[in-house]
């Protein structure tokens, strides 16, 4: 405890966003309220909130978030009330703590109903304050790091929940480092033999690739220096779960082109493209492995250039080229705003989440449509947390949709008026029916006519998104009222 407390205080002192006195006060209260409580490992319970707070301090989190992390279990594990916490600290801290606190099981008929309600509370909290999700992710991360003290059934149950709920949430807010660690920790308990096997093979490949990577690091460094481009280069290895997904889908380990990557950080976008040209002048690229995520960023705001080249000894090496700012967002997602936006971080997080992240509107729509908690969780898992496809509009915009979506889903995702006036669709310049299942990377043009009859009732079973279902039903209800 002493070590982690010292490290936490050290991180806080280095941050301009933190009120050290208030955070120490939060720690002292948490320590008092958790006195006599122990984890299954036998260690004092206060170690857990301390570790959660430390994880968040590594992200340069603000004082309210760290205070809430230190106190995140006190409403559930002690007699203190939300109102008392608000008086002791402020309303924001109390709301954050309440946001991460489970709803009492006494309010429900059975455990399943309680679990569904709490899952919904976790997921929808992002619409109120994204920091609630960030605290929950840090909480889950530490719990997964210390899972060895639980029985096997609980290890697998928690790992499955992590994969189904927390990994997608980490992905959607762009928190790549948390996402990949949660994936690996979950795989470790869900498929321990496979995890150990892949871990050993990964170490062997990394050792075999050491000479190639050292040569590339040196050569690329000389190229960038000769053109006066300030840079930093890091080696990135694909996480074990990422390898597992590729292997189980039929790929051979040595053919995974992004198993090893070089992350090249430069100061501005023009230098990204200049660095790309320099790398291609020295190392032969694989044309169909080039991705420009700067021009067309991912739906969670990830930006980078990806190119896979032949290194020495015929090793395939992916290089990721981005600015220093892009690298922070790529690693930490919205949590990088604490470092990039300083005192406006929380407002900018919520603003960008609402305006720029495609999943936010879909989540809000599902929340409106589903009165039943079980129905809500099922729809979120189907529509948002399952396999995704990425569709291009004729203007090159990327639209994210669930696998199995049709052109009708796409039309309503773009705009309600597009869906209501759709009369046809072109996919990759060919006419297709409205019930066509869209495929990843399809280029889709929706044909509209303002004098169209409008969406048909028979369209409802053809769509998978809540937005499309709701808009079609609204249009038909209005139409029937007017015509009746």
Would you tell me how many other CB atoms lie within 10 Å of the CB of residue 457? 12
Separation between Cα atoms, residue 419 and residue 140, nearest integer Å = 40
241-249, Cβ contacts within 8 angstroms, sequence gap of 24 or more: 241/180, 241/183, 241/184, 241/186, 241/187, 242/180, 242/183, 243/198, 243/202, 244/187, 244/191, 244/194, 244/195, 244/198, 247/198
Mean pLDDT of 52-59: 95
- Does the pLDDT value for residue 9 go beyond 80? yes
Query: In the prediction, which pLDDT does 17 show?
Result: 66
Active site residue 76: yes
Mean pLDDT of 371-376: 92
Q: Which pLDDT belongs to residue 287?
A: 86
Q: What is the pLDDT of residue 293?
A: 94
Report pLDDT for 185. 97
Structure tokens at 462: 């053809």
Q: Does residue 21 surpass a pLDDT of 80?
A: yes
pLDDT band for 451, please (50, 70, 90 cuts): confident
pTM over 0.85: yes
For the domain covering 2-190, report its CATH number.
1.10.3210.10
Q: Known catalytic residue: 255?
A: no
Task: Give the pLDDT score at 351.
Answer: 93
- For residues 276 and 1, which has the higher predicted lDDT (pLDDT)? 276
Task: Exactly one of 77, 161, 206, 375 is catalytic; name it.
Answer: 77
Q: How, if at all, do strands 430-431 and 422-427 pair?
A: antiparallel
Residue listed under structure tokens 């409802």: 460
Domain with CATH 3.30.460.10 in the chain: 195-333
Binning pLDDT at 50, 70 and 90, where does residue 236 land?
Answer: confident
Q: Is residue 441 pLDDT above 70, yes or no?
A: yes
- What stretch(es) of the chain map to CATH 3.10.20.30? 387-483
- Check 14, 76, 225, 372 and give the catalytic one: 76
Distances (CA, A) of 117 to 106, 308, 403: 12, 45, 26
Confidence band, pLDDT 50/70/90 cuts, at residue 482: low
Q: With beta carbons less than 8 A apart as the criterion, state whether 278 and 227 touch.
A: yes
What average pLDDT does the segment 329-335 reach? 93
Chain mean pLDDT for the chain: 91
Q: Which homologous superfamily does the CATH classification assign to the domain defined by 195-333? A: Beta Polymerase, domain 2 (3.30.460.10)
Of 3.10.20.30, 3.20.20.150, 3.40.50.10540, 3.40.50.300, the CATH number of 387-483 is 3.10.20.30
The tokens 């600290």 sit on which residue? 89
């Amino acid at each position: 405890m002493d070590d982690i407390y010292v490290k936490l205080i050290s991180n806080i002192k280095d941050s301009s966003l933190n009120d050290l006195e208030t955070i120490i006060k939060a720690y002292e209260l948490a320590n008092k309220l958790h006195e006599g409580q122990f984890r299954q490992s036998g260690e004092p319970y206060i170690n857990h909130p301390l570790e959660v707070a430390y994880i968040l301090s590594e992200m340069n989190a603000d004082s309210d978030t760290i205070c809430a992390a230190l106190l995140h279990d006190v409403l559930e594990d002690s007699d203190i009330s939300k109102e008392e916490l608000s008086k002791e600290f402020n309303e924001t801290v109390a709301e954050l703590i309440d946001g991460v606190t489970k709803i009492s099981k006494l309010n429900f008929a059975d455990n399943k109903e309680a679990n569904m309600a709490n899952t919904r509370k976790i997921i929808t909290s992002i619409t109120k304050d994204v920091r609630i999700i960030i605290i929950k992710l840090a909480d889950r991360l530490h719990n997964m790091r210390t899972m060895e003290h639980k029985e096997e059934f609980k290890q697998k149950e928690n790992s499955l929940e992590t994969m189904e709920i927390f990994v997608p949430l980490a992905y959607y807010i762009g928190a790549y480092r948390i996402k990949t660690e949660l994936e690996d920790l979950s795989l470790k308990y869900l498929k321990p033999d496979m995890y150990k096997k892949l871990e050993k093979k990964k170490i062997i490949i990394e050792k075999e690739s050491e000479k190639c990577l050292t040569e590339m690091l040196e050569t690329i460094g000389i190229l960038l220096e000769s053109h006066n481009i300030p840079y930093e280069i890091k080696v990135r290895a694909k996480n074990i779960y990422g390898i597992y997904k590729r292997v189980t889908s039929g790929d051979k380990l040595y053919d995974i082109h992004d198993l090893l990557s070089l992350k090249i950080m430069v100061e501005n976008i023009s230098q990204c493209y200049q660095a790309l040209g320099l790398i291609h002048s020295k190392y032969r690229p694989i044309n169909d492995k080039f991705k420009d995520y700067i021009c067309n960023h991912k739906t969670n705001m990830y930006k980078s250039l990806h190119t896979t080249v032949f290194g020495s000894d015929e090793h395939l090496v992916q290089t990721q080229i981005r600015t220093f700012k892009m690298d922070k967002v790529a690693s930490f997602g919205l949590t990088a705003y604490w470092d990039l936006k300083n005192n406006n971080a929380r407002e900018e997080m919520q603003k960008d989440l609402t305006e720029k992240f495609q999943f936010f509107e879909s989540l809000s729509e599902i929340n409106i449509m589903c009165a039943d908690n079980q129905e809500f969780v099922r729809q979120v898992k189907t529509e948002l947390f399952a396999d995704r496809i990425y569709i291009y509009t004729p203007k090159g915009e990327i639209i994210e949709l669930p696998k199995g979506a049709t052109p009708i889903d796409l039309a309503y995702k773009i705009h309600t008026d597009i869906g209501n006036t759709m009369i046809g669709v072109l996919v990759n310049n060919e006419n297709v029916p409205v019930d066509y299942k869209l495929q990843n990377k399809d280029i889709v043009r929706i044909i509209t006519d303002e004098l169209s009859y409008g969406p048909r009732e028979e369209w409802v079973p053809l769509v998978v998104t809540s937005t499309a279902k709701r808009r079609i039903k609204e249009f038909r209800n209005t139409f029937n009222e007017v015509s009746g």
